[in-house]
Amino acid sequence: MRKCDVAVIGLGLMGSAALDALLSSGVDALGFDPVGAGANRGSSHGSCRIFRRFNFENPNYTALSDEAHAGWIRLQEAHGQTILTPTPVLEAGRPGSKMVAASRAAAIAMGHPDPALAAAEANRRFPAFDLPDDWDVVVQDGGAILRTEVVMEIMRARAGNRIIAQSAQFEPRHDGVSIRTANDAFFAERAILALGPWLGRALPKLGALLKVTRQAVGWFRPARPEAVALGRFPIFIVERGANDVVYGFPNFEARGVKAAPHNHGPVVGPDDWDPPATDGELGLVSDALAALVPGATGPIIDRDICLYTNSLAADRRPDQGEEFIIDRWPDSRLVVCSACSGHGAKFAPAIGRRLARLATDPTFEAEPFFRLSRYSAFA
């Protein structure tokens, strides 16, 4: 039986960042995942995610963004590969948009200049847009395209032979965690579970507080390619209604404009990746581009599916749901990470450090708003 101090089960962005933090600190750690970097399944697949410094979801995330940004820059400088491509972030919504107001407030609270911009000025600065004159708009700096495929390749390479590329079954014990693959048995003093949509299946008590949803993603052939090129076109998030939010990227890969709804799709199981995104699922995106970003509108030329794992609203420390869970599992030597709700990827270096410390430092606790104790079931 092979032994280690910490096992990390699940090596998407969060698990890989945790394994990287452990190994960088000299901890004897192993990572387990049958899905290789670049595979088209798992929460972290695909070439890119949005990095935002100022987060409309919750002011708690701004400091986490800054910590994560420093981690991405360290990794980028150490390996000489582009991980963050700086890009403005345009957020827009109807008059009185709560999303835009929260993003604006997050920037101002950090001493940043007011990022509000008149819609007409936004249209002039970014000619692909045709935002209504009365819409609320902010344009934030500090944003970037996060090259997730590059990150996954770098982290897998850094881990080297510390990765076991097999499915792993775990069993908590009073003195640690037993782990079995198809070929071998392992024993870890502690284990970090970063299983994405599969975590609720592994821990049914936690699964009762999670909701996995199917999220359609499309790439659109732009009507005006020059207007949506990197450097002339921002990352964007536009809110037409309470359940009608669309985000997108510049055409930085010569693949078209990547755009998708940020609304929750239908509830699915963790293995429900098929069929590919349909025209119907991408209809809201096509409509939003045609109405608000006509320079980016056009035929769908590629499509994908992501799965969001969303936490339900807490009751003991009330929140609106969709907050992260980063905590020790009660009465065990397990650490859990989940429910990153479609916007967690950008925080991976900061979350990875927290997971590593939870597994190695008995005095460390994650922030209260990340803890399981905010739910009565774990009080």
Q: What is the pLDDT along the chain (379 residues), one digit of tens a residue?
A: 999 999 999 999 999 999 999 999 999 999 999 987 767 778 788 999 999 999 998 878 888 999 999 999 999 999 999 999 999 999 999 999 999 999 999 999 989 999 999 999 999 999 999 999 999 999 999 999 999 999 999 999 999 999 999 999 999 999 999 999 999 999 999 999 999 999 999 999 999 999 999 999 999 999 999 999 999 999 999 999 888 999 999 999 999 999 999 988 999 999 999 999 999 999 999 999 999 999 999 999 999 999 999 999 999 988 888 889 999 999 999 999 996 877 899 999 999 999 999 999 999 999 999 999 999 999 8
By C-alpha distance, which of 199, 209, 239 is closest to 376?
209
Asked if omega into 250 is within 30° of 0 (cis), the reply is no
Residue ranges of the chain that CATH labels 3.30.9.10: 89-140+211-311
How far is Cα of residue 168 from the mean position of the Cα atoms in its chain? Answer: 23
Q: For the chain, what is the total number of helices (H) and then of strands (E)?
A: 9, 18
By C-alpha distance, which of 132, 148, 126, 139 is closest to 42?
148
Please report, as a single letter, which amino acid is at residue 200: G
Total residue count of the chain as it appears in this document: 379
For the chain, what is the radius of gyration of the CA atoms? 21
Q: Residue 125 is inside which H or E element, if any? A: helix 119-125
Residue ranges of the chain that CATH labels 3.50.50.60: 2-45+149-204+314-378
| Dist. CA 259–CA 250, nearest whole Å | 9
| Dist. CA 212–CA 231, nearest whole Å | 35
CATH architecture of 2-45+149-204+314-378: 3-Layer(bba) Sandwich (3.50)
Q: Give 259's strand partners.
A: 218, 248
| Dist. CA 267–CA 375, nearest whole Å | 21
**What 3-state DSSP class applies to 209?**
coil
| Dist. CA 325–CA 197, nearest whole Å | 13
Instruction: Please tell me the predicted confidence (pLDDT) of residue 36.
Output: 76
Contact 372, 330 (CB under 8 A): yes
Q: How many CB atoms neighbour CB 82 within 10 A?
A: 11
How far is Cα of residue 227 from the mean position of the Cα atoms in its chain? Answer: 27
Contact 264, 321 (CB under 8 A): no
Its pTM surpasses 0.75: yes
Contact 245, 263 (CB under 8 A): yes
Strand locations in 54-184 (E): 84-86, 89-93, 136-140, 144-147, 163-164, 169-173, 176-180
Strand locations in the chain (E): 2-9, 29-32, 48-51, 84-86, 89-93, 136-140, 144-147, 163-164, 169-173, 176-180, 185-193, 210-220, 235-241, 244-248, 257-261, 300-311, 325-328, 334-338
The three-point CA angle 153-157-160 to 5° equals 145
Instruction: Please tell me the predicted confidence (pLDDT) of residue 38.
Output: 67
Alpha helices in 232-298 (DSSP H): 283-292
> The domain 89-140+211-311 belongs to what CATH superfamily?
D-Amino Acid Oxidase, subunit A, domain 2 (3.30.9.10)
